[in-house]
Amino acid sequence: MDEPIKTEDTQEKVTPHLVESVSVEETPQTSSKAFFIGLGIFVVILVAILLIPRFFNQQPQTLTEIHQETIAEGIDSETRYVYNGYSFVFYDNLWYTQIANAITGDLYNVPLHFGPKNLTDIVITGDLDPFFGRLPTSNISNYSYRYYLTFDPQDPEMGYVALASGELTQNLVKTFNIAPVSACIQQGIGCESVPIVTCNSTDAPVMLLKSGSPTLVYANGNCITIQGDGPELVRATDRLILKLYNVMI
């Protein structure tokens, strides 16, 4: 008697064969796709390794390079701008511009506490020429181009007087080779070994640093008075310096 056909056994033999066939056909495609994905990741990593150091290892710009860029691109921002052809850059909490020495022609980065945009309200009155006209003939010392830089030793704002004095001295020495001779308008602490000089006591050139209001610079004969209360005295000093540089009128 014939045995019945086992349908389940037949299916068991066929099904594994079909599954195995499908797996063999898909393997090359999967391998190729994985290869290209891996290659793409490798290329991205390689490019990152080559380019990232360019962004993080760049040398910082020098002040001269920043000045050149500011003028070339006409940059006008809160931290750098061009004023009357001069670049001004706020760097390390000071304003810098480049000025050539009047005698040697060497270019200097000169520091100021204020840029010209912050000084336009300060008025300079009188004629500065008599002061500078007396520099070559002054007998203050054996060296030419000397002037008396005088102040009141009892000035209540001595900190700002000292700051203004340093700013003025550094700029005039560096760019004009004009050095001060320290003086006081009266006796007091710190004035024991310096001459007593006022605007009216000598024909030599004199600059007087004086606390007071309003903020201004005025010239009278051989004397230039720089006046301002607190930081305003420094602001008036910077206004005079930029006038001497012909940056401001």
Give residue-wise pLDDT tens across range 181-190: 999 999 998 8
Least confident of 39-53, 89-103, 125-139: 39-53
pLDDT at 237: 97
Query: Phi/psi zone of residue 118: left (φ > 0), alpha (ψ -120 to 50 degrees), beta?
Result: alpha
Break the chain into its structural domains and give their ranges.
Answer: 30-59, 117-244
Least confident of 5-9, 28-32, 54-58: 5-9
Confidence category of residue 33, pLDDT binned at 50, 70, 90: low
Average pLDDT over residues 142-158: 88
Q: Rounded to an integer, what distance in angstroms lies between the CA atom of residue 206 and that of residue 223?
A: 5
The model's pLDDT over 193-228, given as tens digits with 9 standing for 90+, comes to: 999 999 999 999 999 999 999 999 999 999 999 999
Q: Rounded to an integer, what distance in angstroms lies between the CA atom of residue 243 and that of residue 86?
A: 13
More confident position, 177 or 58: 177
State pTM to two decimals.
0.74
pLDDT at 30: 60
Q: Rounded to an integer, what distance in angstroms lies between the CA atom of residue 214 and that of residue 20?
A: 98
Confidence category of residue 122, pLDDT binned at 50, 70, 90: very high
More confident position, 147 or 24: 147
| Residue among 64, 74, 88 nearest 242 (CA) | 88
- 117-244 is a CATH 2.30.110 domain: no
Q: Rounded to an integer, what distance in angstroms lies between the CA atom of residue 46 and that of residue 42?
A: 6
Is residue 10 helix, strand or coil? helix
Q: What is the mean pLDDT of the chain?
A: 82
The model's pLDDT over 52-105, given as tens digits with 9 standing for 90+, comes to: 555 454 555 788 889 989 999 999 999 999 999 999 999 989 999 999 887 788
pLDDT at 100: 86
